[in-house]
């Protein structure tokens, strides 16, 4: 396994960007590291210790995302319960910088189980976005009391249209803020302007990191095995990667779950409609 960063300097630039964002965040929070098989995992905790018997909310971001670009999401979810936000190993952020070439989804599932067992002794409602959803589905920890799968990979193959590809290639070849904004517009609802900080982050990621591909769907047996805990599936009506019709069919067939379609969102539901997600997370906290 090799580092996801193109150079040591690139690694330092990403680390500095994330640490400066977290240091400047006015919301009360704590930061810590836990030891896992891939290396250290960075955990940001927001909110009070949950009442006895109440699970924590464990947030697992998607590809190229992390805690430092999810601060508004953390603040909103912390109104529902204690949030433990993870930087995913092998993704740009403050956790370990390696990922395997093969068997990646199962590897991530084992990693998440290690983390949950350490940080959520009373159980965890895992909120997984995109890649994070696939990781949540691959995790077999008995501490998971519910999964909230937001624009989740792992159920169907992601679709890449010519328009999305036409925006992705310039970002990969010349990762400027302008090219990042153009790509992000395909991830949001029409007429939605991507946050400037997110565009700056994506430009930094494109210049500094070797981005990973979307994970394939998990085997049917692996998905049906997750029915021991309730699943709540959320997707944006304008998702350019995961059309809601096939995603709804897969959620019902494989997870026994309905799909909540958010009309005002694309793939970045956590950024565009976090209050809708928070309502579902509140419901999931009471589910068994």
* 240, 183 contact by CB (below 8 A): no
Q: Calculate helix-pair angle for 131-138, 104-119, nearest 10 degrees.
A: 70
Confidence band of 279 (pLDDT split at 50, 70, 90): very high
* 272, 264 contact by CB (below 8 A): yes
Tokens representing 42 are 């960075």
Which of 103, 72, 105, 66 lies closest to 87, judged by CA?
66
Which of 71, 89, 184 lies closest to 132, judged by CA?
89
Domain 8-285 -> CATH class: alpha beta
Tokens representing 22 are 């977290």
Check pLDDT > 80 for residue 138.
Answer: yes
User: What is the DSSP code (8-state) at residue 105?
Assistant: H
- pLDDT value at position 288? 64
Which of 113, 26, 52, 50 lies closest to 282, judged by CA?
50
- pLDDT value at position 198? 96
pTM: 0.96
In order of 46, 84, 190, 222, the CA distances from 29 in angstroms are 5, 10, 34, 35
In order of 5, 23, 109, 128, 184, the CA distances from 132 in angstroms are 20, 24, 10, 4, 18
* 141, 117 contact by CB (below 8 A): yes
- pLDDT value at position 287? 81
pLDDT tens string 51-109? 999 999 999 999 999 999 999 999 999 999 999 999 999 999 999 999 988 889 999 99
* 148, 126 contact by CB (below 8 A): yes
* 42, 53 contact by CB (below 8 A): no
User: What is the DSSP code (8-state) at residue 67?
Assistant: G
pLDDT tens string 207-224? 999 988 788 999 999 999
Domains of the chain, by residue range, sit at 8-285
d(CA 44, CA 29): 7
């Amino acid at each position: 396994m090799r580092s996801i960063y193109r150079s040591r300097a690139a690694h330092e630039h990403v680390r500095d960007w994330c640490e400066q964002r977290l240091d400047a965040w006015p919301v009360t929070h704590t930061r810590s590291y836990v030891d896992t098989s891939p290396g250290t995992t960075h955990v940001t905790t927001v909110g009070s210790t949950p009442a006895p018997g109440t699970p924590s909310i464990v947030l697992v971001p998607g590809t190229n995302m992390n805690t430092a670009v999810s601060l508004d999401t953390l603040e909103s979810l912390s109104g529902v319960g204690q949030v433990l936000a993870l930087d995913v190993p092998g993704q740009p952020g403050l956790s370990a910088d390696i990922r395997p070439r093969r068997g990646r989804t199962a590897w991530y599932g084992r990693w998440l189980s290690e983390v949950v067992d350490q940080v959520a002794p009373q159980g965890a409602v895992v909120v997984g976005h995109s890649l994070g959803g696939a990781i949540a589905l691959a995790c077999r920890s008995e501490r998971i009391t519910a999964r909230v799968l937001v624009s989740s990979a792992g159920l169907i193959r992601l679709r890449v249209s010519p328009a999305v590809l036409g925006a992705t290639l310039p970002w990969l070849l010349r990762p400027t803020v302008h090219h990042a904004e153009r790509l992000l517009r395909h991830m949001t609802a029409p007429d939605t302007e991507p946050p400037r900080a997110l565009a700056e982050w994506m430009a930094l990621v494109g210049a500094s990191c070797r981005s990973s591909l979307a994970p394939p769907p998990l085997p049917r047996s692996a998905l049906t095995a997750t029915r021991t805990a309730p699943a709540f599936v959320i997707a944006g009506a304008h998702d350019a990667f995961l059309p809601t019709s096939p995603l709804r069919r897969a959620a019902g067939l494989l997870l026994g779950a309905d799909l909540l379609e958010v009309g005002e969102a694309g793939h970045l539901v956590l950024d565009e409609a976090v209050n809708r997600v928070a309502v579902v997370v509140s419901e999931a906290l009471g589910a068994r």
